[in-house]
Structure 1
Amino acid sequence: MTGWELVAVCAAGVVAGAINAVVGSGSLITFPTLVAIGIDPVTANVSNTIGLVPGSFSGAYGYRPELLGQRDRLLRLGAASATGALIGGILLLFLDPDIFEIIVVALIALACVLVVAQPWINRWLADRREHAHPHGGLELWLGVLAAGVYGGYFGAAQGVLLIGLLGSFLDDHLQRVNAAKNVLALIVNLVAATLFVLVAEVDWQAVAGVGLGAVAGGFLGARVGRRIPAPVLRGVIVCVGIAAIIVLVYG
């Protein structure tokens, strides 16, 4: 990796860390960047997941006031996230890499759709909030498990999925829902990253670049990320996602 490539990866990490703290879809920035500098998609995905762990922690830490009183909830749902992440990570490592390159295009497209649809998702959540269960239930646990599988396999926009699930099933303020989302995403990334460190091929330069940037971006997102105009943020994410699809399909 050249010096300029490392700078580009660090910059992508900053943006991804900030986006993940606010909503979650930062991998649509870092993953395409790693692929663009010549890292094969599976190794890029593995290295990206490991690199985003510090940023996930800083984003969750920045929301600690909103986490007060959510301990029991997060212990229950965190078990679902951890289990799902382990399943997703195993699928990534043991499925044919050619299958991943096909599936990841569909997952990036899905992530872009989720990012674009988020305003409508938020309105739907607002309509449901008065009927939501204060602690969720089995349906929420299973949904978080499925989101964990998705996140362990390919994490882009897992935060959007989690916000949709938590907002639908919990009777709580959206900022507290977002804080819980950050913790669950951290658990998914941490479990998958631990698995990858033990058994997968890792590009540690990529991990370092993404990690350094993501730590700064996580704190930035938790503090000032809410000031970024949402349409601008969504537009950037979707453009990067489309570029990633083009790179993966046409090489």
Structure 2
Amino acid sequence: MPPFFEAVTILLAGVAAGGINAVVGSGTLITFPILLAFGVPPVTANVSNNIGLAPGSVSGAIGYRRELVGQRARVLRLVSGSFIGGLTGAVLLIVLPADAFETIVPVLIGLGIVLVVVQPRLSRRVAARREAAGELAGGRPDPWWIWPTTALAGVYGGYFGAAQGVILMGILGIGIDESLQRLNAVKNVLAAVVNGVAGVLFIFVADVDWWLVLLIAVGAVIGGQLGATVGRRLHPTVLRTVIVLVGLAALASFLL
């Protein structure tokens, strides 16, 4: 069991990450750097964080269940890609040496920060595209490339996962004629699948700190519900600023 201060900090970080994942994505940029700051080895931190955030993703998906109505076929189709991608990414994390992870993660964190920063511009472009097309097309089939790109996002999520939600929203928002809230609901389901399948594999083959998992999971479940309700009313700039600052702290932690 971590010391009291560390335990409370990790629990609160789980709440924040669960809420941010439900609304925006990138909750890993909150919890992962905090685990590093407390001296948890990077791979152990990543694995424990992944397992801990999985229940929060499920909680967020349940919170957005109203927006999932009428999307059963789409969700079932894309879930298969997320499952395959998440499993592939988790296997890569296990088979590649720890040095590779420590080399790659700063790049992935940087990518996550960039995606968080450019998300508003991406969302505006998607909205303008829909408006120019006369809003929703209604009944138009999803483009063929949605499935493979969703699977690739799953590989990223299974390996590390920071800004996985932002990547998914970019893919879904560009390719699918639906409101952003309905796409966010789909994103939450796909992220839950990626985190879940990677987490199951990690349980059997990776070095897991179960105290960290418990603290993050409890916090993430609470945060997932808060994110699906109160979180929608928060100004996105506030969330984005926090994510970017914590992500920069994570980069500094790795590079220094």
Which TM-score bucket, shorter chain as reference?
A: over 0.9
Match of 1:166 among 160, 169, 172: 172
CA contact under 8 A between 1:67 and 1:176: conserved in structure 2? yes
Tell me, in whole angstroms, the C-alpha distance in 2 between the residues paired with 1:135 and 1:169: 10
1:232: Cα distance to partner?
Answer: 1.3
1:7 corresponding residue in structure 2: 8
1:248: Cα distance to partner?
Answer: 1.2
With the length of structure 2 as denominator, give the TM-score of the two structures: 0.95
The alignment status of 1:224 with 2:225, answered yes or no, reads no
1:136: Cα distance to partner?
Answer: 1.6
1:1-251 to structure 2, matched below 5 A, reads: 1-129=2-130, 130=133, 134-250=140-256
Tell me, in whole angstroms, the C-alpha distance in 2 between the residues paired with 1:159 and 1:184: 9
Tell me, in whole angstroms, the C-alpha distance in 1 between the residues paired with 2:220 and 2:172: 24
Q: Please, which moves more after superposition, 198-207 or 129-138? A: 129-138
CA contact under 8 A between 1:17 and 1:59: conserved in structure 2? yes
Q: Please, which moves more after superposition, 41-50 or 119-128? A: 119-128
Determine helix, strand or coil for the equivalent of 2:142: coil
Tell me, in whole angstroms, the C-alpha distance in 2 between the residues paired with 1:121 and 1:115: 10
Tell me, in whole angstroms, the C-alpha distance in 2 between the residues paired with 1:63 and 1:154: 24
CA contact under 8 A between 1:14 and 1:216: conserved in structure 2? yes
For 2:83, the aligned partner's letter is A
Question: Could you list the runs of 5+ residues in structure 1 that have no partner in the other structure?
Answer: none
Tell me, in whole angstroms, the C-alpha distance in 2 between the residues paired with 1:108 and 1:128: 29
Tell me, in whole angstroms, the C-alpha distance in 2 between the residues paired with 1:234 and 1:222: 17
For 1:113, the aligned partner's letter is V
C-alpha RMSD over aligned residues: 1.2
CA contact under 8 A between 1:73 and 1:135: conserved in structure 2? no
Q: Please, which moves more after superposition, 125-134 or 92-101? A: 125-134
Tell me, in whole angstroms, the C-alpha distance in 2 between the residues paired with 1:178 and 1:30: 21
With the length of structure 1 as denominator, give the TM-score of the two structures: 0.97
CA contact under 8 A between 1:134 and 1:172: conserved in structure 2? no
Tell me, in whole angstroms, the C-alpha distance in 2 between the residues paired with 1:170 and 1:50: 29
CA offsets, 1:53-110, max 9 Å, x none? Answer: 1111110000001001111101110000000001100001111111101100000001
1:183: Cα distance to partner?
Answer: 0.4
Determine helix, strand or coil for the equivalent of 2:145: helix
1:230: Cα distance to partner?
Answer: 1.2
Question: Could you list the runs of 5+ residues in structure 2 that have no partner in the other structure?
Answer: none
Determine helix, strand or coil for the equivalent of 1:138: coil
Tell me, in whole angstroms, the C-alpha distance in 1 between the residues paired with 2:70 and 2:94: 37
Determine helix, strand or coil for the equivalent of 1:49: helix
For 1:86, the aligned partner's letter is L
For 1:168, the aligned partner's letter is I
CA offsets, 1:159-182, max 9 Å, x none? Answer: 000011111111111110000000
Determine helix, strand or coil for the equivalent of 2:166: helix
